[in-house]
Every structure is written in structure tokens, then in C-alpha cells.
Amino acid sequence: MSVKSRGKVIKSTGSWYQVLLMDTNEVVDARIRGKFRLDGKRLTNPVGVGDIVELEMDEKENTGLITKIENRTNYVVRQSPRQKHHLHLLASNIDQALLIVTVVQPNLKQGFIDRFLLLTEPRDIPVIICFNKSDLYSEDDLLIAKYLCGLYEKIGYGTIVVSAIDGSRIDELRALLNNKTTLISGQSGVGKSTLLNAIEPSLNLRTGDISDYSGKGQHTTTFAELFQLDANTAIIDTPGIKTLSYNNMEVLDVAHNFREFFEVSSNCRFHNCTHRNEPGCAVKAALEDGTISDLRYQNYLTILDEVERQNHWERHRDI
């Protein structure tokens, strides 16, 4: 016999999902019925952590069949790292994202910050950029962190410099998470799991070291999972990201989602200005007078080239 129920997805493990039932607070395993798509795009995981779903429960087996996904307030997707023509749903129905980076061990790839912001900006999701491992920073490293904090705060993102090891500003970081559901993300090796354990020791997440062989971080989180820290506070831990590419953006999507570029672009001579070589470009003028960061602009150009190349290849691969 089957009965209808409603719940929140708290873990995605591929073909199976863990769902917290709203009427009983019980966690059950569930699978999906049929195919779900997102804005017409194919997804490697059509149901995401944070989704509110309707299920048909098999009382005998105590498992569920997801039959419907309720409307999402927002979501974060990335290009699937394994199937480049698909999207991967990181999470949905979140209040903010916490991007964890570090200046050293592994060395900072600043372009990754701007790449990640392209995932959240289209959905107007607030982001806090957290510089972890401050206990390892030299004076020069601290200056880099301070400079980048100023750069991103100026355009409206939150920033904080912390250490999971010596506990520096951990209480402040925990306060930023209070009463919100926060997506936690970062490149492999930035100390994400260690930092989350410092915020909430009861999580006891598995941690890993930087690989001695490659100098890169090793994955310690395999699947996205929601953890309830208190009645009104939750985090969604996601696997470490190695690279970010885009199969769901056009050139103007990139231009519109560099927020300070978009703010001044209404003054560009051409409405479809890509802010490269067009005359009368307000973004280039702001770049020249120092209002817009050259660092962000160079990252923008790199991403723009990638998107153009990928879109060109997509349009011609079937010819």
C-alpha cells in the first residue's frame, strides 16, 4: 500500500535520495518517477538537496517514490564535470552561499571566485567569500586577502578571513549563518570540512590533506548533504570543485552577471556591448578611471572567450 507524503531532500547520492518527511521528521530513501528537467536542460541529478518534493510512500519497504518537485525559490547549477552537455544541480531553496577559498595551501586561483559568482548571480543569491587558513598566511598573504576583501566588498559581496585551526573569527562566521540555509562550496583542499567541523563540532565531517603528489586538494565530501545546525539554521555541504565551465550561458549572460559591469552598462553606446572593443563602452571607461577592477575585467575576458569557443563548438558539432 502507498500513501502520499511531503518532504525535503537532504542528501543526493546519485539514483537514491534521502528525504526528511515533514509530517514525521523521519528520513527515508527515495527514488524518482519519470524525468525532470530544468529550464529545458538535461540534468545529471534532476532532484537537488533543498528541494521540497511530493512522494508516494511504500509503507512495507519504508521507501518513497518522488512524483513531484515543488516550485523552487532559487537554485544553483553548474556544468556537469562528467557530462559536459548536462547541468549538475548543486542545491535549491537557499538563502545565501558561502564560498571558501584560501590564499595558500593550495595557492589561490583568484579567477575561481569570479567563476563561482557566475553560478549565484543569475539567481540574486547573496555570497560570503571566506578566506580560510589565515594561521598560515605570511604578511604578504594577509595583504592579498585584505585587498581581495576590499575588492569584493566594494561591489556588494560579504567577506571574512578565518582560521579553522586557531579559531580566529569562527564565532563571527557562525553568526553569519544563523537563521539561514547556506550552500557551502569551495575548491578541493581549501579546508571546507575542517572549517565546518570548527563551526559545528557535532558534524564530525571527514577531512583530508593536500595531496603530496599533485599539490591539489583531495575530495572529502562525495555527495551534497543538508545538515540542520539548529531549528532555523542549515548548511548544504557540497563536494569540492576542481574546475568550473559553462554550457548554459551566452556572451551577454556573462556580461550581465558581472554586477558592477551591468550597473554601468546602461551608459554603453550599444545595448549588446560585450565591453571589449566597442566604441562608447562605459565599462571600458570605468576600467580606465579605476572604478572597475582590472583583475575582474581580465577574468571576465577569459570566461567570455571560453563561452564563445564552447558555444561555437556546440553549434557546429552536429554539422
Each residue of 149-196: pLDDT tens digit?
Answer: 999 999 999 999 999 999 999 999 999 999 999 999 999 899 999 999
Identify whether 106 is preceded by a cis peptide bond (ω within 30 of 0). Answer: yes
CATH 2.40.50.140 domain extents, the chain: 2-69
Grid cell, residue 145, equals 586577502
- Side-chain-facing half-sphere of 91: CA atoms under 13 Å: 28
State the Cα angle at 206 between 204 and 209, rounded to 5°. 130
**pLDDT number for residue 37:** 65
pLDDT of residue 312: 62
Task: Kindly report the three-state secondary structure assignment for every residue of 253-311.
Answer: HHHHCCHHHHHHHCCCCCCCCCCCCCCCCHHHHHHHCCCCCHHHHHHHHHHHHHHHHHH
The span from the first CA to the last CA of the chain, in angstroms, equals 51
- In this predicted structure, the answer to whether residue 215 has a pLDDT above a threshold of 60 is no
Q: Which of 15-24, 53-62, 200-209, 286-295 has the lowest mean pLDDT?
A: 200-209
Q: Are 198 and 164 in contact (CB under 8 A)?
A: yes
Residue 213 has pLDDT above 60, yes or no: no
Q: What's the pLDDT tens digit per position in 90-141?
A: 999 999 999 999 999 999 988 999 999 999 999 999 999 999 999 999 999 9
Angle between helices 111-120 and 294-316 (to 10 degrees): 60
CATH homologous superfamily of 75-237 equals: P-loop containing nucleotide triphosphate hydrolases (3.40.50.300)
For residue 106, the number of C-alpha atoms closer than 13 Å in the C-beta half-sphere is: 23
Whether 54 and 47 have beta carbons less than 8 Å apart is answered as: no
With a cut of 60, say whether residue 216 has pLDDT above it.
Answer: no
Q: What are the residues whose beta carbons fall under 8 Å from the beta carbon of 318, sequence distance 6 or more?
A: none
Number of C-beta neighbours around residue 265 at 10 A: 22
Cell numbers for 249? 550561458
Q: Give residues with Cβ within 8 angstroms of 241, minimum separation 6.
A: 78, 112, 116, 185, 186, 187, 188
Nearest-angstrom CA–CA distance, 283 and 294: 11
**Cα–Cα distance between 272 and 268 in angstroms, integer?**
9
Q: How confident is the model at residue 1 (pLDDT cuts 50, 70, 90)?
A: low
* Res 218: pLDDT: 41
Sign of the Cα pseudo-torsion (196, 202, 205, 206, in order): positive
Domain with CATH 3.40.50.300 in the chain: 75-237
Comma-separated ranges of CATH 1.10.40.50 domains in the chain: 251-311
Q: What is the pLDDT of residue 207?
A: 76
What topology is assigned to 2-69 in CATH? OB fold (Dihydrolipoamide Acetyltransferase, E2P) (2.40.50)
* Average pLDDT of the chain to the nearest whole number: 89
CATH domain 251-311 topology:
Ribonucleotide Reductase Protein R1; domain 1 (1.10.40)
